[in-house]
Amino acid sequence: MIIALGCDHAAYELKEAVKAKMESEGHTIIDVGTDSTESVDYPKYGHAVGKAVASGEAERGIAICGSGIGISIACNKVPGIRAALCTSVEMAEMCRRHNNANVVCMGARMISQELAFDIIDTWMTTEFEGGKHLRRINEIEDLDF
């Protein structure tokens, strides 16, 4: 799978660990930055992840900042993106099952690397249930201008 991956300075080390994990599992990573721990603003990177997924360049996206909140908001500014901030495996499962989330967001200062990997594994392997949930996603999509 082709995955867009982006972060701010607070999440650089976790992004690099995620990148190595995903590549070792055979995924192609589009790394939209950042490329160091030097302070940067997260909106640029969240938007880049969202644009890569919305355009079809990537099939899914992973976005990480210090809390996960800001970068998830930035991702969700891109029409067609359903970015979910996940702090647990259960949230990762539900955002795929019920919301068909195409971007997962995490906070590097909020969760461990081990939990981040577990969240990603669950998010990558959980299928969308469709049905009534598709109707709700279509309602959300209708909100995009």
Catalytic residue among 7, 47, 65, 105: 65
Between the CA atoms of 48, 120, 14 and 81, what dihedral angle is there, to the nearest 10 degrees? 20
- Residues found in the chain: 145
Provide the H-helix boundaries in 35-131: 42-54, 69-75, 89-97, 113-125
Cβ atoms of 105 and 63 closer than 8 Å: yes
Provide the H-helix boundaries in the chain: 12-24, 42-54, 69-75, 89-97, 113-125, 132-141
Residues of the chain with pLDDT under 70: 144-145
Which pLDDT value is given to residue 145?
A: 58
Which pLDDT value is given to residue 112?
A: 98
Is residue 27 flagged as an active site residue?
Answer: no
Nearest CA to 106 out of 137, 46, 52, 63 is that of: 63
Which pLDDT value is given to residue 140?
A: 85
DSSP state of 35: -
The whole-angstrom separation of Cα 66 and Cα 98 is 26
Please report where in the chains the tokens 């082709």 appear, as a residue: 2
Query: Whole-model pTM?
Result: 0.96
Is residue 98 flagged as an active site residue?
Answer: yes
Which residue segments constitute the domains of the chain, with CATH numbers given? 2-141 (3.40.1400.10)
Residue range 82-118, pLDDT digits in tens: 999 999 999 999 999 999 999 999 999 999 999 999 9
Which pLDDT value is given to residue 142?
A: 86
> Token pair of 95, please?
């955002």
Cβ atoms of 108 and 10 closer than 8 Å: yes
